Amino acid sequence: MMLKPAPYAMPVEKALFYGGWAFTGLVLLFLVAPILAIVPLSFNAEPYFSYPMPGLSLRWYQDFFGNPRWTGAFLLSVKLAVVVTIAATALGTMAALGLARTHLPGRSVILAIILLPLIVPVIVVAVAVFMSFGYFGLIGTFTGLALAHTALAVPFVVIAVTSTLTNFDWSLQRAAQGLGAAPFTVFRKIILPLILPGVVTGALFAFVTSFDEVVVALFLSSAEQRTLPKQMFSGIREMISPTITAAATVQVALSICLLIGVELLRRRSERLRGMTPS
CATH superfamily of domain region 69-272: MetI-like (1.10.3720.10)
Q: How does pLDDT run across 25-48, given as a tens digit for each residue?
A: 888 888 887 777 788 888 877 777
Which amino acid would we find at residue 146? A
What average pLDDT does range 64-86 have in this prediction? 89
Look at residue 208 and give its three-state secondary structure. Answer: helix
Residue 157: exposure state from Cβ atoms within 10 A (0-12, 13-18, ≥19): buried
Residue 272 has pLDDT above 60, yes or no: no
Q: How does pLDDT run across 204-214, given as a tens digit for each residue?
A: 889 988 888 88
User: Where residue 269 falls among pLDDT bands split at 50, 70, 90?
Assistant: low
Dihedral sign of CA atoms 201, 202, 207, 209 in order: positive
Residue 177 has pLDDT above 50, yes or no: yes
The set of residues, in sequence order, having a beta carbon less than 8 Å from that of 83 and lying 6+ positions away, is 146
| Residue 144: C-alpha distances to residues 25, 33, 123, 234 (Å) | 41, 36, 16, 21
Report if pTM > 0.75. Answer: yes
